[in-house]
Amino acid sequence: MALKAAIIKFFTDLHVPPMVSEYLTILILLGAILLISWIIKKLIEHYFLSFCKKIVERTTTRWDDIIFENKLPDRIALLIPGVIVYFLSDMIFTQGAGGLLKYVQMACAIYITFASLLIVNSVLKVIDNLYNNFETASEIPIKSFLQVVKIFFYFAAVIVVISLLLQQSPWTLLKALGVVAGVAMLVFKDSILGLVASIQLSGQKMVRKGDWIEMPKFGVNGDVVDISLTTVKVQNFDKTIINIPTYSLVSNSFQNWRGMVNSGGRRIKRSVILDMHSFKFLDESDLARLKKSKLIKSYICEKEKELKEQNKKNNVLSENEINARRLTNVGTFRYYIKQYLANNPKIRTDMTFIIRQLQPTEKGLPIQIYVFTNDTNWARYEEIQADIFDHVLTIAPEFELSIYQDPSGRDIKESLSQIKL
């Protein structure tokens, strides 16, 4: 190289020893190459990339913005110094100069490997961000798969760097790694289990980002915020964040409320406990009073007609006879609730719709409401449920029914005052 020879001659003319002249020349040329590569990198960043960024900001498309947001062009620019130094180093280094050429090119190769790793990382982020713009992203997340790809490239980069340092073929190292495969399985147990679990979760659509899940074992009751290779992040309704292993969603049972949300109906399953001492047959005055309700007027009239025919058929002369069939306040109340809910525009009658008696207990007879609202939003659902039971609890005395509740201090005090009287 003429430039190198000229610099060596310059130092020789200054009576610098030949060996020192050669090393000084190498340092000068190496510094010049590093400076040139740094200048080229800065020129590309400040002029070419800045120009491209201004163009991108004016476009209406989103994909080009994502590329710059994840610094993909900047990461590509990082390759320039390493590539320049690698290919120009053989012009200034000789194998006789302490074998420096080999070490300089090794350092450049390691630098290029890590720069390439940064590029791969940015590319994967770009793919993830672009995919998240599609509607299918919430149903079939690919973040876990991208993390697997990232781990593969990280592993490959480590193998390449070690092979460069040891001056061995990467394939030779891979064969040697078979010896430590058992240890690696233990070290990367969570990642391996997470990989398998992620494939199962995504393939079978068991859980998605945004799903409401419950796992009492882990104290989970909230929305899925993120699904990664090793962990699933859930924000509970108390705004706390819980991270659980991905494979725990496969190895343990959990409740996913996605079906409820997709169905458009949310279940109400609650009971009103009636005091059985307040049950009775309805007399004429009771029936006349309850007929004023539009919800059960036709029911009472039809039942009166039906019961009269039945009693006449059975030769029952008086409605007060023990063999006579009569309407009860509890049965009429149950039908009233059914009609009240059937006429409620916020209740879905096309789903399970049951007003039933449960097994009597020492506290009374539970009348269970088992219906579905047409609004799955938590706050509005609670409002609908509260309005229903506000009415049911308040209307019960109109049927001369008592709602059971455990005696309080006030009840005991009133009972004692009556005893004194």
Q: Does pLDDT of 363 surpass 70?
A: yes
For the ranges 30-34, 65-69, 285-289, 372-376, the lowest mean pLDDT is seen at 30-34
Q: State the average pLDDT over residues 159-167.
A: 83
Other C-beta atoms closer than 10 Å to the C-beta of 197 total 24
83 band by pLDDT with thresholds 50, 70 and 90: confident
pLDDT of 36 strictly over 80: no
Give the amino acid at 37: S
Q: How far apart are CA 164 and CA 157, in angstroms?
A: 11
> Of 11-15, 62-66, 308-312, 319-323, which has the strongest mean pLDDT?
308-312
Given a cut of 90, whether residue 73 has pLDDT beyond it is no
In angstroms, the first-to-last Cα distance of the chain is 124
Q: Which residue has the tokens 């579905």?
A: 372
- Can you state the percent helix, strand and coil of the chain, rounding each to 5? 60, 15, 25
Give the mean pLDDT of 160-168.
83
Backbone angles phi, psi at 402, to 5 degrees: -110, 135
> Would you say 85 and 104 are in contact if contact means Cβ atoms under 8 Å apart?
yes
Contact indicator for 289, 395 with CB cutoff of 8 Å: no
- The answer to whether 155 touches 162, Cβ cutoff 8 Å, is no
Residue whose token pair is 């610099």? 7
Average pLDDT, the chain: 82
- State how far the Cα of 12 lies from the Cα of 25, in Å rounded to an integer: 11
Q: Which of 282, 271, 280 is nearest to 365 (CA)?
A: 271
> At 96, is the pLDDT very low, low, confident or very high (cuts 50, 70, 90)?
very low
| Neighbouring residues of 282: CB distance < 8 A, sequence distance ≥ 6 | 290, 326, 327, 328, 329, 332
The Cα–Cα gap between 36 and 85 comes to 10
How far is CA 332 from its chain centroid? 47
What tokens does 235 get?
């924000």
Residue 279 carries which DSSP code?
-
Q: CA-to-CA distance for 111 and 83, rounded, in angstroms?
A: 9
pLDDT band at 393 (very low <50, low <70, confident <90, very high): very high
Q: For residue range 249-286, what is the model confidence (pLDDT) as tens digits?
A: 888 889 999 889 889 999 999 999 999 999 999 988 99
Which of 41-50, 79-88, 238-247 has the highest average model confidence (pLDDT)? 238-247
Half-sphere CA count of 26, side-chain side, radius 13 A: 18
The SS3 assignment for 356 reads strand
How confident is residue 92, by pLDDT bands cut at 50, 70 and 90? low
Residue 186 is predicted with a pLDDT of 65
Residue 261, Cβ density class (10 Å: 0-12 exposed, 13-18 middle, ≥19 buried): middle
The predicted model gives 406-420 an average pLDDT of 73
For range 53-63, the mean pLDDT:
75
Tokens of 228: 């990664």
State pLDDT tens for residues 110-155. Answer: 888 898 998 898 888 888 888 887 777 766 677 777 877 888 888 8
* Cα–Cα distance for residue pair 145/205, rounded to 1 Å: 15
Is residue 296 within 8 A of residue 335, CB to CB? The reply is: yes
**pLDDT above 70 as % of the chain:** 81
Q: Cα separation of 243 and 241, whole Å? A: 7
Q: What is the mean pLDDT of residues 350-359?
A: 95
In terms of C-beta density within 10 A (0-12 exposed, 13-18 middle, 19 or more buried), how is residue 68 classed? middle
pLDDT in tens, 206-220: 888 889 999 999 999
- The DSSP code sequence of 181-229 is HHHHHHHTHHHHHHHHHHHHHHHTT---TT-EEEEGGGTEEEEEEEE-S
Residue 176 pLDDT grade (very low, low, confident, very high; cuts 50, 70, 90): low
User: In whole angstroms, how far apart are CA 138 and each of 123, 180, 190, 202, 223?
Assistant: 21, 38, 24, 10, 13
CA 312 to chain CA centroid, Å, is 65
Q: Between 283 and 324, whose confidence is greater?
A: 283
Q: What is the pTM of this model?
A: 0.58
Domains of the chain: 2-133 (no CATH), 137-146+168-259 (2.30.30.60), 266-412 (3.30.70.100)
Per-residue confidence (pLDDT) for residue 93, from 0 to 100 = 62
Structure tokens at 249: 């969603």
